[in-house]
Amino acid sequence: MQGGQFAEEGKRQYKAFTLKVRIHQAITDLGAKAYIIMSGSKAKNPALDAGVKDIMARIRDLKAQLVILEGKGSEARSKTRPKAHKKK
């Protein structure tokens, strides 16, 4: 890898880390929202709540972005690594 490739890989890894943090925060928000819904005087199914559905959609979107980003990273790594020679 050359300097520019290291910089691009670093940026990609930072974006992946940021997405993972955002996913973790959204899951925390989801748990808090579910707890509030279920602990109320009129406990109901949290899966039916619009706020829960919004958080779930956010998590799905963030995970999709992460899969795409990680896929791009594995493509870049495979292009820069020399192919291993099989021993005979």
- Percent of the chain with pLDDT strictly greater than 90: 61
- Candidates 45, 50, 46; CA nearest to 32 is 46
C-alpha to C-alpha distances, 39 to 18, 24, 26, 43, 47, nearest whole angstrom: 32, 23, 20, 6, 14
**pLDDT on residue 43:** 81
pLDDT digits 0-9 by tens, 62-72: 999 999 999 98
Is the pLDDT confidence value at 17 over 90?
yes
pTM of the model: 0.76
Top-confidence residue, 83 or 51: 51
Q: Tens of pLDDT along 42-56? A: 888 999 999 999 999
